[in-house]
Amino acid sequence: MRDPFPMSRRLRVRIAMGLAILADALQLVFFPMFVEGAPFPLDDALDAVVGGAMIYLLGMHWEFLPSFLGKLVPGVDLVPFWTLAVANVYRKTRNEPITIDATTERHAASTNPPRS
């Protein structure tokens, strides 16, 4: 399946970091203004949407699991888990070599047939 929105790895990380900072800011600063100390379904919905977006942008990484589980413990949800998770994924993947997709290799082989 082809990606409907092809983006470079750098752009994906930048979008993910911006989204993580925005989500953490909403959860730490703005959401407590409306519902203090009570379960807030919008907070859970935001975590689900951000988690899905992170998996789409960066792939599945174990670093995203504490972002979900940290919301279950009172007081721990004050840690900006999404921002830390994206920063850790970036740190781990920035030195990995960029591999060429198999479909790109097939396309290059079909457009440039070997000469005999």
- Domain definitions of the chain by residue range: 16-95
Structure tokens given for 50: 């951000």
The closest of 30, 59, 58 to 46, measured between CA atoms, is: 30
Count of CB atoms situated within 10 Å of the CB of 19: 18
Q: How far is CA 19 from CA 3, 115, 116, in A?
A: 20, 49, 52
Non-local (6+) Cβ contacts of 78 within 8 A are 28
Structure tokens given for 39: 């379960």
For the chain of 116 residues, list the mean pLDDT of each consecutive stretch of 10: 72 92 86 63 84 91 82 75 90 69 49 54
pTM for this structure?
A: 0.69
* Residues 97, 105: Cα–Cα separation, whole Å: 16
pLDDT per residue as tens digits for the range 80-94: 888 999 999 888 877
* Residues 72, 49: Cα–Cα separation, whole Å: 17
